[in-house]
């Protein structure tokens, strides 16, 4: 193969460049290669510490992800270190998962739960029951882990424990409700 540039000597230097996905090839002789090789080094820019901390989501460069709740973009939220609203957690779940895991060790919430039903009132008044509720939450978390590890036998034992705790809690709630009703009737 002759040199692309002078067309006289045989080409001994072969250069393949891929810049922004566009591939170019050059075949040069040793003489021409000395001056003509134009190797472009892309600039990496300065390091952004925020990006290092938050990670760089590759996907949203072209199509910015926007939270439907508050209209904040992931880039903006990541830059400020704060989300725009509670719905951001669902909107940016993929981006947040590794970060939350890094911050908190990948654990699940096992603390106080939001009061959703009348059971909570009873759980508040009786600390023994509240503890049982916490235990139930902790076991639920354990159950998830065991299933992930495919330890089905242990998982089944934990599931049974959860069921018995749930039954106990249910019963306590019913008793409390009945007592309330009775008190109401007497009045």
| Closer residue to other proteins in complex, CB, 27/95 | 95
Q: Is 79 in the site for other proteins (CB under 8 A)?
A: no
Q: Residue from 50, 51, 79, 82 that binds other proteins (CB under 8 A)?
A: 82
Q: Is 114 in the site for other proteins (CB under 8 A)?
A: yes
Q: Is 70 in the site for other proteins (CB under 8 A)?
A: yes
User: Which phi and psi (to 5°) does residue 15 adopt?
Assistant: -115, 125
User: CB under 8 Å to 185, separation ≥6 — which residues?
Assistant: none
- How distant is the alpha carbon of residue 117 from its chain centre? 29
Q: Is 149 in the site for other proteins (CB under 8 A)?
A: no
The least CB distance from residue 177 to other proteins, in Å, is 17
Q: Is 110 in the site for other proteins (CB under 8 A)?
A: yes
Is residue 74 within 8 A of residue 50, CB to CB? The reply is no
Q: Is 112 in the site for other proteins (CB under 8 A)?
A: yes
Q: Which residue has the tokens 């007497």?
A: 186
CA distances from 164 to 110, 125, 129, 135, 159 (A): 19, 21, 13, 12, 9
Q: Residue from 69, 73, 161, 177 that binds other proteins (CB under 8 A)?
A: 69
What CA–CA distance (Å, rounded) separates 181 from 175? 10
CA distances from 73 to 47, 48, 52 (A): 21, 18, 18
The least CB distance from residue 160 to other proteins, in Å, is 22
Q: Is 50 in the site for other proteins (CB under 8 A)?
A: no
Q: Which residues here bind other proteins, judged by CB under 8 A?
A: 69-70, 72, 80-86, 89, 96, 99-100, 103-115, 120, 124, 134, 137-138
């Amino acid at each position: 193969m002759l040199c692309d540039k002078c067309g006289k000597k045989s080409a001994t230097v072969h250069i393949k460049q891929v810049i922004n996905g566009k591939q170019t090839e050059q075949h040069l002789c040793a003489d021409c290669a000395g001056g003509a090789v134009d190797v472009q080094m892309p600039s990496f820019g300065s390091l952004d510490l925020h990006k290092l901390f938050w990670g760089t989501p590759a996907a949203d460069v072209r199509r910015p992800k926007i939270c439907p709740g508050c209209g904040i973009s992931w880039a903006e939220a990541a830059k400020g270190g704060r989300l725009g609203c509670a719905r951001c957690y669902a909107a940016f779940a993929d981006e947040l998962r590794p970060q939350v895991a890094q911050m908190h060790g990948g654990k699940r919430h096992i603390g106080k739960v939001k009061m959703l039903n009348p059971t909570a009132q009873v759980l508040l008044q009786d600390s023994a029951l509240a503890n049982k509720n916490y235990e139930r939450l902790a076991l639920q978390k354990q159950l998830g882990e065991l299933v992930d590890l495919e330890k089905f036998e242990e998982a089944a034992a934990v599931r049974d424990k959860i069921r018995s705790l749930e039954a106990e809690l249910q019963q306590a709630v019913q008793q409390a409700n009945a007592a309330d009703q009775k008190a109401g009737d007497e009045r």
